[in-house]
Structures are given as structure tokens and as C-alpha cells.
Amino acid sequence: MSKDNFNKYRRQFLTAATAVAGVTIAPGVILNQVHAKPVNQPVSSANRWGLLIDANKCATGCNDCVTACHTENGVTGYGRPATDSQWIRKVKLTDKQTGHVQTIPMMCQHCEKPPCVDVCPTNASMKREDGVVLVDKHACIGCRYCMMACPYHARSFVHEKTTDQKYPRGKGTVESCTLCVHRIDDPNGAKDPACVDACNASGHKAMWFGDLKDPNSEISKRLKKYGGEEIRADLGLNTGVRYQNLS
Amino acid sequence: MKTPQFKELEGRSPQFFILMIVLAAIAAVGIYSAFLMHHEGHIITGMTNRIVWGTPHVFAVFLIVAASGALNVASIASVFGRKIYKPLSPLSMVLSLTILVGGLMILILDLGRPEHLIDVPLTQFFYNSMPSRWSQSVFGWNMILYTGFMGIVLVYLWFTLERRFNKYTKAAGLFAFVWRLALTTGTGLIFGFLVARPGYDAAMLAPMFIVLSFAYGLAFFCLMLIPAYSWSGRELGDAIVNRMKTLLGIFVAAGLYFVFTFYIAKAYSADAAQGVISFLLFGDNNYSTAFWFGQVLLGGIVPIALTLLPWFKSRGALIIASIAVILGGLSQMYVTIIGTQAYPMPLFPGKVVESVTNDGGIAPYSASIYEILLGLGGIAVAILLAVFAMNVLRILPASLADKDTDPHHTAS
């Protein structure tokens, strides 16, 4: 085999190998465009995950996001709403002046400056680099100071023994919406949190999930075009969850 | 005025043993209640996701505030140089320690996962020691303030009891005084820093807690001192009792002034605080009853009358006033801690808010027996440890008769 031929075969082999590798990796890369993080790398502050909720599209009487969240995360209750965990809840708002009725889902607002993180004595309450606010159940002492500090009643204390766990939960610790962090961290997982999937499946399409730092993400484009407000904006917490058409 | 002779309580009478057994039994029942709360979960308490701090916190915060106040007598002697209080200093220090232990016991046993506290030294003293990670948690600061307080008061006590180190007592006393002010500031700011809740969110809660602590601590002190002397047959002169009586009245009056200013400032503001204040003070609920009858009447007006009006001269008046101050203090904590949580947070102004978790409504709460027993257990532990300390340590002067204590005493 001449040297030219050898180089020709070598080029062909490398091209083919690259193509095979490309085909193999591509699905992961394409999915990662959404999650922007290979599984073996730490979360990065290049992303900030958030939710956008259109109050006009959220249907009165629909509870699909709540059911989906609690099914996805194994949050089971005992039919005692005052003490059962509520990672997400539907809130009905009636304007005292006009009588206008709206419903919205409320959950952890994933603040940029979360009061729950500030007050936690054990650093169990924490905010990831990508803006997701979580509780480390192994460090939580169950003092509930974060629940006192949260302006949104977004956190629940596990008052009773847990059953059918899917992700770590524990009696005597505090928990709240994780933005389905297990999905964010799984490059092959679903694109959106369970609540958003359920809202889309119901046909209401009132919720969007995405990267607030990516100007091309659907959530950023919508926020830029239509705006979006924070609940208790007076506190200056810069929430990752925004609402539209809240009037 | 003689140099006081300190003597242990003999503690051989059947009454003494009965007292110790009763206190130990109350403490044991309290601890067992906490065990049940951990076994079953907080579902057996009256607490919910809306009322996250309940009756245990009422007792715990009251005791922690009273603990720093119990150190007053020692501070008055060593920092402000009032010699008549000097013989009472060791009891004052011991009591501040035991009351703090009782309060912290309740707080720790109420935690959902107290065993996770093992992580705290790592986070508060090591990981968070880097300036970039200094904790913003008032609870985190308080863990340092509470443990530091115990260490400082122990040293203060040691310097007071060990004659060789008496020359350092004043310095230790000043340090302990400054530390106890920081401690009660920290306790007040647990609530003062809760910016999301208009019923709290006020720096004034810190000085208010300090002034309230003066009265709560002194009331506790009187309730330990007078029976200890009366039951052990030791002499306790009017000079010291009357001074404490007047002091208690002044402290209670100062506390009422702070409470009045706090609420009037909140009520005057044009923001969401008005709603919660009118709920607490004028609502048709237990909290307004506890405020007017518990905190103001029982914890304020009654003890002021009993201590400052000239008609009540007996020692019993001081005892009743002290009990009233403590009951008033527990009422104050009930209103401040539970009442303020019961009122909904201002999430959506101008809207009626309804949800499965009762977002817009008043959160119901009734204390369960386990919570009350845990709280009483903490008080029992505080008293039990104090009585035990009087029994084994020389912290009580053999006589507090006027001739032994009053620098202005003249034999009649």
C-alpha cells in the first residue's frame, strides 16, 4: 500500500469513526441543549432555571399540575391538608373590587436571594449555582425557621412517616418544590418539570420552564415580549418563578 | 455589712426529696412527650404547615429570654457596683444557666431531627468561619451566643466563688453583661428579621425582648430565692426583698412601654401590619384575650400595682407579682409567636385568597398535651438543676438578714 493510499484509508477511517461517534453522541448533545450540562459536570451559574405561569390560561378547577408533581416526587398525604406536604398548590384569587376570579399554581419561587437559605442554621437550605433552591434532608434539623422566613408558604414540614418514597423525604425535615431537579440533572430525562408536562397535556398550556439566562429560550422570549411579575416583588428577592396576566 | 458566708442547702428533709422527685417526674414526662413527638411525628402536636412554631417555642423562647434576665442581679452587683446584690450573684448566675438549659432543651427536643445537630459545629464553627461564608442565620448566631453564654457565665461563676480570682469578677461580669445583651438581641431578631411577615419585621423586637427579659428573669429569680430561704429557715431581710420588689415593678413598667410603642408603631403604619395588629389586639380570638388579660393585665398592671403601690407590703405580694409576670410573659410569647403566625401573610393585596392550605384565612391552632408537657418539662429541668446546684454548691448566703446585707442598716 502506497503512502498516499494509507493516508486515504486513514482519513476514511477517521471520518467514519467520527460519524459513528457523532451519531452516538448526538441525541445526548441535542437533549443537552435544553439542559446545557453533561451529567458528569457540576451545575453552573451559566443557567438559571425558572418557570413562567400565565394566570389567564390556568384553568379554574384544574389540579393536574398538583397531582402530577406529587405523583412524580412521591409526595403522599393522609388527607390532612394542614399538615400534609404541598410542594405545589392551586390558589384561587378573587378581586375584592371587581370580583374577577383567577387561579394560579404556587410553589417555591426559587428566589435569587432566598430568605429560607439566609436563615438556615445548618446550610441544609441551599441554592444551587443554577438557581434551584433545595433542602438537604440529611442536614436539615427540622427547626422550621425557613418556613417562618419564606414569604410564599412554599415549604412543608413532614409531620408523619413517609410512604412510597421516590426521592429522599424524611419525617421531621422540611421539603418543597425542586423544579424536578432530577429531570434537570438527567441529560436523558424529560425536558420539563412534571407540573409543566401535566399542564401541557391538559391542553391549558399555562406554564413554561426554561433557562432565564438563555435569551433564546422560550421562557426568556416570552418574558421579554409580555413581561412577568413576581409575587411580593417589594421584597426584592428576584424570583425564578414569574406570573403573567395576574390582575 | 458583713462578708457573706455561703452554705449549701442541707437537702435532707422529706419535703426536699419530694420536691426533687416531683420536678424530676415533670421533666421525665416532658422528655417522654418529646420522644412520642419524634416517634409519631409532629402530627401529634397542634402545629401545622402554617403554625410552624407552637407551644414548645412559647416556653422555650420565654425561658431563653428569662435566662438572660436572671443574670441581672449579678450584673447589678458587679457591673453597676450595687453591693447589696453581691451575695445574690452566684444564685443569679446559676439560675441564668439552668433556665437557659431548660429553654434549649425544649427547643432541641422540638426539632424534627435533633440528631442532625451533629452537623452544626461543622457548619457554624468551621465551614462558615470563612468570611465569604459567614452565616446570615440568626439561629446560627444564636447557637454561638447560647453556648458562649454558658461558657462565660461558668467562668464568671468560678471567678466569683474562687476567692483568688475575685479581682477578675468585675471584668468577667462586664463581659457576661455585654454577651447577655447580644444573646437577647439575637433572640429578638429571630423574629425581627422575618421581613416577609409584617407582624414581626421590626428591629425594635430586639430591645423589647431585652427589657422584657429584665422582668421575666427577675420574677424567676424571686420565685427561687424567697422559697429557698423560707423553706430552709434562713433569714431573708426586707432590705433586699423591697429593693427587688421595686425593681421588678420598674422593669415590668418599662416592658409595657416597649410593648405599647411596638404595637402603636405597627398599627400606625399604612402597610399590611395593620391587619395583623388589629387581629392580635382587637380580634375575636384567643390572642387578643391573651394580650389584654394575660400580657397587659396579669403580666403588667397587676404586678406593677403589687410592687409599686404602698398598700402591698407583704412578701406574698412579690411572690404573686412574680407569678403574674411569668404568666404574662408566657401570654406575650403566645401572642407574639403563635398569634402572628396565625394571621395570613400578605401575598396578594386586594384579593380574597383561597387554597387547600387556607392561604388567605386565619390558621387554626390548639396546643396538644405533648407540647404543653414538653414546655412544663423544660421549666421543671430549669428549677431542678437550680435546686440541685443550691444543694451541692455554696451559692446561697447563710443569711440575708438586713444586718448582714444592707450597707445602711442600723440596729434598732
Amino acid at B362: I
Best CA proximity match to A46, nearest among A208, A191, A211: A211
* pLDDT score of B154: 95
This prediction has a pTM of: 0.91
Roughly how many angstroms between the first and final C-alpha of chain A, as a whole number? 78
Residue B84 DSSP code = G
* pLDDT score of A113: 94
C-alpha–C-alpha distance, residues B363 and B281, integer Å:
16
Overall average pLDDT of the B87-105 stretch: 95
CA distance A110 to chain B (A): 15
Listed range (B133-147, B317-331, B369-383) with the worst mean pLDDT:
B133-147
Average pLDDT of every residue of chain A = 88
Which of B138, B357, B363 is facing A89, going by the closest CB pair? B357
Give the best residue of B106, B356, B366 to mutate against chain A (max A CB count within 10 A): B356
Q: Could you read off the pLDDT of A227-244 as tens digits, one per residue?
A: 999 999 999 999 999 999
CA distance A180 to chain B (A): 22
- Cβ atoms of A142 and A172 closer than 8 Å: yes
C-alpha–C-alpha distance, residues A63 and A55, integer Å:
14
C-alpha–C-alpha distance, residues B278 and B329, integer Å:
21
Amino acid at A164: D
Q: Which domains, from first to last, does chain B contain?
A: 20-116+135-398 (1.20.1630.10)
* pLDDT score of A29: 45
More confident residue, A92 or A35: A92
| Contact yes or no for B193 and A119 at CB 8 A | yes
More confident residue, A9 or A141: A141
| Contact yes or no for A235 and B196 at CB 8 A | yes
Q: Is B129 on the interface with A (CB under 8 A)?
A: no
A164: confidence class by pLDDT, cuts 50, 70, 90:
confident
Which of A83, A97, A121 is facing B137, going by the closest CB pair? A121
Beta-strand ranges (E) seen in B31-142 are none
Listed range (A119-123, A131-135, B67-71, B299-303) with the worst mean pLDDT:
A119-123
Most confident segment among B93-107, B166-180, B237-251: B93-107
Q: Could you read off the pLDDT of B104-128 as tens digits, one per residue?
A: 999 999 999 999 988 777 766 666 6
Q: How far is CA A82 from CA A77, A178, A209, A219, B261, in A?
A: 10, 21, 29, 33, 34
Overall average pLDDT of the B335-345 stretch: 96
Flag whether pLDDT at B351 surpasses 60: yes
Best CA proximity match to B183, nearest among B210, B162, B152: B210
| Contact yes or no for A231 and B347 at CB 8 A | yes
C-alpha–C-alpha distance, residues B164 and B178, integer Å:
24
User: Residue B343, SS3?
Assistant: coil
| Contact yes or no for A97 and B111 at CB 8 A | no
C-alpha–C-alpha distance, residues A155 and A175, integer Å:
6
Residue at grid coordinates 374577577: A100
Q: How far is CA B238 from CA B86, B110, B313, B326, in A?
A: 16, 42, 10, 23
**What is the value of ipTM here, to two decimals?**
0.91
Residues 6+ apart with CB under 8 A from B265: B202, B204
C-alpha–C-alpha distance, residues A173 and A237, integer Å:
24
Residues of B in contact with A171 (CB under 8 A): 41, 112
